[in-house]
């Protein structure tokens, strides 16, 4: 409405816009944190902005129009768009000029300014298949669960390429989605490492931020385990390991309730209950292990599945890699698992803010498989996450 008032002197809230990105392609999932919007400029304005520094002036005029209507909202000009930031949500507005072939020219302010071409209508048409859209949504749940740094268009591109590589799922329904999941992650795990792909329809370059093959291989293994447990009561829990809490829980008939003799409290908190999740960036944490004040090693150096820490060790978890630009907030979660944790009523699992040093200090108190997770929150959205498994054995029973 603000842009129509500025450039056309009308009050329409819907005319001359096109919702693009995952929302426009209908491949987004609940908790979507951003909306990509094209504002289609009047063709009569082309000469006004098709000149030196005209690209920057177009974005600045767009920003000014939005600020006039919403003066208390955070609005800034980025290289290609105007970003409007709300709590837990932001809109990226891109003013464009429509071309005769249904493509759009958009402003790029880098290197003195230029016009680039985007073809979102062709992308939306290419990803109109229902099975493809559902697979894209499933893949988003996986990447948010496992902290895979992938943009939405990359996910949609890879899902499109997979379904184009096989006819096995051309006419199959939900009843075959367990096999679809398994085969999709196997396909991802076996792809050669590349820096970019071509988007379906538009053929524009889609960048790869970080290799995804290792985590896809893990998802493939988890899918196989879930399929093997198909007739067991814990099958839904197996699929939750792939797709996270959004995957439906088991029905009451197959859910085994906790014994009344248990006295421990389940204090675990979940990050998706506090923030929207949209993993697009890369975060890595490591753990420095000390004894009597002297560093012994980092957990990343111990790759053996049989390795267990001894008790009475000091642990310092630190953020070692992060692709997110400031400002952002770091949060930590320590979850104790196993019989000893339940007997001591020390499940923990609360999500706590970092104290400003991007590190967390703990100690190895009792045996069990413990989990430490780290989250990076920017503009109210979790954009990166990582976790470390901390296996603790009995005192004096540490092995390498």
Candidate from 304-318, 345-359, 365-379 with smallest mean pLDDT:
304-318
CATH number of 258-392: 2.60.40.10
| 2-118 matches 258-392 in fold | no
- Whole-number pLDDT of residue 262: 58
How many separate helices (H) and strands (E) can be counted in the chain?
11, 18
Instruction: Quote the percentage of the chain above a pLDDT of 70.
Output: 92
At 222, phi and psi to the nearest 5?
Answer: -65, -35
**What does each C-alpha distance from 80 to 57, 335, 339, 360 come to in angstroms?**
12, 41, 54, 38
Please, how many CA atoms are within 13 Å of residue 237, restricted to the half-sphere of its CB? Answer: 7
pLDDT over threshold 90, residue 338: no
Q: CA 316 to CA 144: how far, in whole Å?
A: 25
CATH number of 2-118: 3.30.460.90
- Whole-number pLDDT of residue 146: 95
- Whole-number pLDDT of residue 86: 83
The ranges assigned to domains in the chain are 2-118, 129-235, 258-392
The pLDDT tens digits of the residues spanning 9-27 come to: 998 999 999 999 888 888 8
Q: CA 196 to CA 343: how far, in whole Å?
A: 50
Cβ atoms of 242 and 234 within 8 Å: the answer is no
pLDDT over threshold 60, residue 357: yes
- Under the banding of pLDDT at 50, 70 and 90, the label for residue 304 is low
């Amino acid at each position: 409405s603000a842009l129509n008032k500025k450039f056309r002197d009308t009050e329409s809230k819907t005319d001359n816009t096109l919702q693009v990105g995952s929302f426009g392609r209908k491949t987004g999932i609940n908790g979507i944190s951003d909306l990509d919007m094209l504002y289609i400029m009047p063709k009569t304005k082309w000469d006004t902005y098709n000149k030196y520094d005209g690209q920057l002036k177009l974005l600045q005029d767009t920003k000014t129009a939005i600020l006039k209507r919403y003066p208390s909202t955070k609005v800034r000009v980025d290289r290609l768009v105007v970003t409007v930031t709300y709590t837990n949500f932001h809109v990226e507005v891109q003013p464009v000029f429509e071309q005769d072939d249904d493509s759009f020219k958009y402003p790029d302010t880098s290197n003195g300014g230029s016009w680039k071409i985007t073809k979102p209508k062709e992308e939306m048409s290419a990803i109109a298949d229902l099975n493809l859209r559902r697979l894209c949504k499933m893949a988003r749940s996986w990447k948010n669960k496992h902290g895979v740094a992938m943009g939405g268009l990359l996910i949609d591109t890879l899902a499109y390429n997979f379904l184009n590589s096989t006819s096995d799922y051309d006419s199959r329904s939900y009843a075959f989605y367990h096999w679809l999941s398994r085969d999709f992650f196997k396909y991802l795990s076996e792809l050669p490492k590349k820096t970019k792909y071509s988007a379906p329809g538009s053929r524009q370059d889609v960048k790869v931020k970080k290799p995804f093959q290792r985590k896809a291989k893990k998802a493939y293994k988890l899918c196989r385990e879930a399929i093997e447990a198909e007739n067991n009561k814990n099958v839904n829990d197996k699929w939750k390991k792939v797709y996270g809490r959004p995957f439906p829980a088991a029905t009451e008939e197959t859910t085994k309730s906790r014994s009344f003799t248990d006295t421990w409290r389940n204090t675990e908190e979940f990050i998706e209950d506090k923030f929207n999740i949209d993993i697009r960036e890369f975060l890595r944490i490591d753990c420095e292990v000390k004894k009597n004040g002297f560093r012994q090693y980092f957990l990343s150096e111990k790759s053996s599945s049989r390795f267990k820490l001894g008790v009475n060790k000091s642990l310092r978890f630190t953020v070692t890699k992060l692709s997110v630009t400031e400002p952002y907030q770091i949060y930590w979660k320590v979850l104790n698992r196993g019989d000893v944790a339940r007997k001591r009523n020390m499940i923990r699992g609360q999500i706590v803010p970092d104290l400003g040093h991007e590190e967390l200090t703990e100690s190895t108190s009792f045996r069990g498989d413990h989990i430490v997770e780290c989250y990076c929150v920017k503009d109210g959205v979790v954009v990166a996450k990582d976790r470390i498994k901390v296996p603790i054995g009995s005192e004096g029973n540490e092995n390498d």
